[in-house]
Structure 1
Amino acid sequence: MPKSATASPLDNATGTDRMIFGRVLDLAISDPLRSLPAALALSREDLRALAARHAPQHETTIAALPDTGLDASDDAIEEADLRAFLVDHGARGAEEERWLAAILARRSLEPNHLWQDMGFHDRGELNAMFQRHFPALVAANANDMKWKKFFYRQLCEREGLLLCKSPNCEVCEDVDVCFGEESGDPLTSLARLARG
């Protein structure tokens, strides 16, 4: 059966990965304050491999990255723990999951919704990425907690810590903080220009 002319990039695995990595790179490349390796916590070698496989439109930009002797900047306090947690929950142990674990751990430090900090258009695209590469996390997050809150709750539980105000989310006074609406504008360059 021929593909529909209106097929979405999410219709197949290759299209999904091209969308994921293309959007992440689009946003990170537009960041004037950090180098691409620092913004995504990936080495120049990893960035070259990622672009060759999933974002050929960025190969020239990545090839032109200066060799400063430094790749990704130092990890934040919990970044290595989150990266390891994500790798542990990868679907196939694929290189893409290792790249995404590093990217997600770094981008989770940003102040916006995770879907925005990843360069996605909405939370649905973020969820599609998790479904493809980290389906066990989608199953564990069955109540659709905000992803950053979910990550840190999981890390705390792993360490035997309880930082939540209530033992049960349903009776917590902060339930809207963890499960509320995630509306907002995408952080892509075009969206920034449109906002003026």
Structure 2
Amino acid sequence: MTEPVAPNAADACRHDPDTAVDRMIFGRILEVAAADPVRSLPQALALDKAALAVLTARHAPRHAAAVAALPDDGGHGEDAIEEADLRAFLVEHGARGADEEHWLAAILARRSLEPNHLWQDMGFHDRDELNIVFRRHFPALVALNAADMKWKKFFYRQLCEREGLMLCKSPNCEVCDDVEVCFGEESGDPLATLSRLARGSGA
């Protein structure tokens, strides 16, 4: 029997924007977190079992059984130094104060600590799918990031500016030698593809 897959992002937007887009978003996120070889779902996503139970019931029922099997006292891991600040920043810029925005704020703050492009570490197929998250749930951040800076760079620039810290070496981006680091292409393969390739090469 063929397993169901998360819907294509463009198709989700066309058909039922109130539910299908979030099913795509959270389906992708849970798939990549479930494949984590070291951390539990709560640790990978910074959400406790209760939050994950509501999330999966609403948007990703195929993961509900895995969440139900989690220990009640498993915890979701300690925050990194800047994680709470980033989570609060994201919640502050949420569109409606919905549960989904609080969940995504926690997930984005935790996944931003990973070493790959943020779209990869969120389980998406490309940066366009990540941008759907921001347009739908954090449109104020899309407006702030009008120059289309890489999202990780944008987050930490915003946090540093709030603390009165100078993150950049140059007074503006146009004269900066590192402009490609902040605004360059974010190409690559999804983590699921890289994982399959790694398993194949090790066979």
Q: TM-score, normalised by structure 1?
A: 0.93
Which letter maps to 1:81?
A: D
1:8 matched to 2:3? The reply is: no
Which letter maps to 1:78?
A: E
In structure 1, the partner of 2:196 is 193
Q: What is the count of residue pairs matched by the alignment?
A: 188
Residue 149 of structure 1 and its aligned partner are, at CA, apart by 0.1
In structure 2, the partner of 1:28 is 33
1:26-175 paired onto structure 2 within 5 Å: 26-67=31-72, 69-175=73-179
Q: TM-score, normalised by structure 2?
A: 0.90
For residues 115-166 of structure 1, give each alpha carbon's deviation from its aligned partner in whole angstroms, at most 9, with x where no partner exists. Answer: 0000000000000110000000001101110000000000001111111001
Which letter maps to 1:167?
A: P
Following TM superposition, the consecutive aligned residue runs of length 4 or more in structure 1 with deviations greater than 6 angstroms are none
1: distance between equivalents of 2:189 and 2:46? 24
- Unpaired stretches in structure 2, ≥5 consecutive residues: 1-9
For residues 88-133 of structure 1, give each alpha carbon's deviation from its aligned partner in whole angstroms, at most 9, with x where no partner exists. Answer: 0000000100000000000000000000000000000000110000
Distance 1:10 1:192, change over 3 A: farther
Provide the alpha-carbon RMSD of the alignment: 1.1
Residue 57 of structure 1 and its aligned partner are, at CA, apart by 1.0
Residue 78 of structure 1 and its aligned partner are, at CA, apart by 0.1
2: distance between equivalents of 1:13 and 1:134? 15
Percent identity, aligned pairs only?
72
Higher relative contact order (CA 8 A, sep 6+): 1
For residues 10-62 of structure 1, give each alpha carbon's deviation from its aligned partner in whole angstroms, at most 9, with x where no partner exists. Answer: 32231110011000000000101001100000000000000000001111111
